[in-house]
Amino acid sequence: MSRLTPLLLVVLLACCSTDRDGRDQAHGVYYWRTDLCLDSTERAFLRTYDIKKVYCRYFDVVMEEISSRYEVRGARYEEPRPNATMTFSDTLPEGIEIVPTVYITEDCMHEEHKGLAAKLVKRIRQMNETNDIKGVREIQIDCDYTSRSRKTYYKFLEEVRNAWMVDGERWSEERGERREVSTTIRLHQLSMPAPPVDYGVLMLYNTGDPQKYMERNPILDIRDVAPYLSRLKDYPLPLAAAYPVYSWQRRIHGVRIEHRVEAGEILQVKAAVERRRPSLSHAIVTYHLDKENINRYDSETYEAIYRP
């Protein structure tokens, strides 16, 4: 029997991998503005719905053309650069964890950029130190990677994890903290091997084709989500689930169009997702924290989104 014990442990761990969904059963919210500044409505929202994590966009990483002195025979050279860096006019309420989040454009991952991961982590640490933000244990990377960029992106994530270690270890008993890296997971990415991170946030928004807005809501439509649901149960990475509470305004042929998702559509998608993977009810994230978004739905809707 003792010879079988290690094998049995491996099997049990594999079978229970998705039980880690909803790490610490912490509900969260994205904060996607360029200045951290909360009004009374936003603070009340965090308190009312027991929000424990704020995924705060620190900056973007985009491909940017470098100085013309590097041009040779008309060639253009680009490299990843930070953009739209956040300022901190305010702090989060006590007891709420801030998760520095960085959006990196997919074209940054079309080829490897030596040292990019270390620079990204260093910049996050510098922003934390400059703004006296303490106790940060997790960072999140957001990228709409594709089959073309996946391998480069996964290698980049491994380098981010290594740079984010505490004294060479992801777990430090002396400090009583565990350093983690998470990433966003879009529906089409469920068909790919899982990325090398601690967990993913499944993005249940921006699911449709913006060009087909007359047929379906490009923010969220159950018909766009349904084809991917069969992959949820066996997806090996622990997951949280993120739902949209925002609107999208744009002009099409000179006409102002506003996209917003009805509460019933959000709850229908949530129910369908949790039928396939019930543990996804334990860690719900909404996108994103803003007074207008809060006022777009009534309290009963938010109760239904955040509660199992």
How do residues 60-85 score in pLDDT, each as one tens digit? 999 998 765 555 555 668 999 999 99
The pLDDT of residue 24 is 59
Residue 14 domain-assigned (yes or no): no
- How far, in Å, CA of 2 to CA of 240, rounded? 36
Over residues 199-223, the mean pLDDT reads 94
Residue 171 domain-assigned (yes or no): yes
Picking from 127-136, 150-159, 210-219, 277-286, which range would have the lowest pLDDT averaged per residue? 210-219
Read off the amino acid at residue 192: M
Mean pLDDT of the chain: 89
Given a contact cutoff of 8 angstroms between Cβ atoms, the answer to whether 183 and 195 are in contact is yes
The pLDDT of residue 211 is 86
The pLDDT of residue 9 is 33
Over residues 111-117, the mean pLDDT reads 97
C-alpha dihedral sign at 222, 49, 131, 153: negative
Residue 115 domain-assigned (yes or no): yes
Residue 9 domain-assigned (yes or no): no
Collapsed DSSP state (helix, strand, coil) of residue 147: coil
Between 249 and 299, the more confident residue is 299
Residue 220 domain-assigned (yes or no): yes
The pLDDT of residue 238 is 97
- How far, in Å, CA of 136 to CA of 179, rounded? 8
The pLDDT of residue 8 is 38
| Secondary-structure breakdown of the chain: helix, strand, coil percentages, each rounded to the nearest 5 | 35, 25, 35
Residue 8 domain-assigned (yes or no): no
Domain count, the chain: 1
Residue 7 domain-assigned (yes or no): no
Residue 13 domain-assigned (yes or no): no
What domain range includes position 189?
24-306
* Residue % of the chain over a pLDDT of 70: 86
Domain containing 202 — which CATH number? Answer: 3.20.20
- Tens of pLDDT, residue by residue over 275-286, are 999 999 999 999
The pLDDT of residue 162 is 96
Encoded tokens for 157: 């994530």
The answer to whether residue 173 scores a pLDDT higher than 80 is no
